[in-house]
């Protein structure tokens, strides 16, 4: 952090701010715009891309910008950047054509649209920071492969729970411990929640009701833990993870895990519901050196064999600009797949579904996502949750049944399906 703020201060003093594009103009995008405007010297939001441009204007106005330009060409965007005026467009290719843009934050939560936008930014040689765990958890490995070939970074972000876990995992490894469990602390888990049950909460906080539902029904935590697993070579202990209710302090949750089993299977991702302090994250790690075990006990981490490290909060949009600076200035990604996927998010029926049903979007009425080991997903031909929207059932499916490719017809012409096939072919 101290390296990043010093580097950003230097960019500000040199009048050479990082020029940031944001794709998406929802709740998180609005927060990032405000954070950059008021708390991040050395960085400007140059342009917001949204399919509804007025929403993008509202996000910039929320951040206090009085003058905002609508642009439809790269030349118009470059002129706005030169005048230090933020811009709005509904065409992301206006942005990919500009040599002035340093990085893009993908904040849509949409898989197909996000895939199209992200691949175009990669081709343009512009760093990409994903606030879109759904995209990352579906085709993240092939996006990282393409980014490597283009010489740029595609990365998850600081602030949201996967990035906070990644930073803590990195710290724990740096002081000589071996991470065995990376976990997410949730306040609620009910796979049958839907947009009707979550409507009031979404309105209270000004959030998208489908996104809020994905938090409640377990889809979001599945994607979040999948991308942590894919970045750090971890697996899930069973389909859906363990997900224990744990009303006590997270330090005491080490007793939920058996060190011998973890050593046999390798490190895992998981979550608990209701632990204190929350909502945060945890890493449980081991150390084999008796001398260091003595010091860890002295420093109040107990006698092991698992030592508890945790963060009691995650601050989402507040930290996203740090991810941008890490990529642009230091070539330092927050979280990326380490090769092919270890864990996928598969599609589960939220209710009895009839043949002919066109599956609705993530956080909807039809399906929820569960984390599953990639080897199982491949062997059983299970439908990735990120690709479920728009698929049509060709047979009846019972509630809580995993939906496979044998159960559906896939819409034609989707880039996300092409990327997934490319990823499967490359990584097996």
Confidence class of residue 424 from pLDDT cuts 50, 70 and 90? very high
Average pLDDT over residues 386-398: 98
* Residue 49: strand, helix, or coil: strand
- In the predicted model, what is the mean pLDDT of the chain? 96
- Predicted confidence at residue 96, as pLDDT, reads 98
Question: CB atoms < 10 A from the CB of 422, how many?
Answer: 15
Q: Which domains does the chain have, with CATH numbers?
A: 2-159+318-330 (3.40.50.720), 161-314 (no CATH), 343-427 (3.90.1210.10)
More confident residue, 2 or 229: 229
- Assess contact for 241 and 139: CB atoms under 8 A: no
**pLDDT tens, position by position, 211-222:** 889 988 999 999
1 pLDDT tier (thresholds 50, 70, 90): low
pTM (2 d.p.)? 0.96
H-type helices in 1-91, by residue range?
2-13, 27-39, 53-62, 74-82
- Dig out the tokens for 419 from the structure: 């990327």
Strand 43-49 relative to strand 87-89, pairing: parallel
Query: How far apart (Å, rounded) are the C-alpha atoms in residues 390 and 362?
Result: 11
| Tens digit of each residue's pLDDT (9 = 90 or more) over 131-190 | 999 999 999 999 999 999 999 999 999 999 999 999 999 999 999 999 999 999 999 888
8 Å CB contact between 104 and 23? yes
């Amino acid at each position: 952090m101290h390296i990043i703020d010093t580097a950003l201060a230097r960019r500000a003093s040199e009048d050479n701010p990082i020029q940031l594009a944001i794709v998406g103009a929802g709740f998180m995008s609005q927060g990032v715009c405000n954070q950059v405007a008021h708390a991040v010297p050395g960085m400007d939001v140059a342009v917001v891309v949204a399919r509804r441009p007025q929403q993008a204007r509202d996000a910039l106005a929320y951040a206090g910008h009085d003058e905002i330009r609508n642009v439809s060409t790269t030349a118009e965007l470059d002129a706005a950047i030169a005048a230090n005026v933020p811009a709005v467009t509904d065409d992301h290719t206006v942005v990919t054509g500009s040599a002035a843009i340093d990085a893009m934050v993908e904040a849509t939560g949409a898989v197909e649209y996000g895939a199209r936008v992200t691949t175009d930014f990669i081709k343009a040689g512009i760093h990409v920071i994903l606030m879109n765990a759904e995209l990352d958890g579906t085709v993240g490995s092939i996006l990282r492969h393409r980014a490597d070939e283009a010489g740029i970074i595609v990365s998850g972000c600081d602030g949201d729970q996967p990035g906070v876990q990644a930073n803590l995992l990195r710290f724990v490894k740096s002081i000589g411990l071996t991470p065995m469990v990376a976990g997410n602390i949730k306040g609620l888990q009910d796979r049958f929640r839907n947009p009707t049950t979550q409507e009031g909460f979404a309105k209270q906080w000004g959030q998208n009701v489908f996104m809020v539902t994905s938090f409640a029904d377990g889809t979001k935590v599945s994607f979040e833990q999948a991308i942590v697993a894919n970045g750090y070579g971890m697996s899930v202990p069973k389909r859906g993870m363990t997900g224990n209710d744990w009303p006590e302090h997270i330090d005491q949750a080490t007793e939920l895990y058996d060190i011998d089993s973890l050593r046999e299977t390798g490190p895992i991702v998981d979550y608990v519901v209701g632990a204190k302090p929350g909502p945060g994250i945890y890493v449980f790690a081991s150390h084999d050196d008796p001398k260091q075990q003595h010091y860890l006990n002295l420093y109040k981490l107990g006698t092991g064999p698992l030592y508890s490290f945790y963060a009691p909060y995650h601050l989402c949009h507040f930290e996203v600009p740090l991810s941008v600076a890490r990529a642009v200035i230091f070539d330092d990604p927050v979280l990326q797949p380490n090769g092919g996927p270890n864990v996928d998010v598969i599609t589960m029926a939220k209710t009895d579904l009839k043949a002919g049903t066109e599956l609705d979007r993530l956080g909807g009425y039809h399906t929820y996502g569960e984390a599953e080991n990639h080897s199982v997903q491949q062997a059983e031909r299970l439908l990735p949750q990120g690709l479920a929207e728009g698929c049509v059932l060709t047979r009846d499916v019972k509630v809580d049944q995993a939906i496979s490719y044998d159960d559906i017809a896939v819409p034609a012409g989707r880039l996300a399906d092409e990327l997934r096939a490319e990823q499967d072919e490359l990584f097996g």
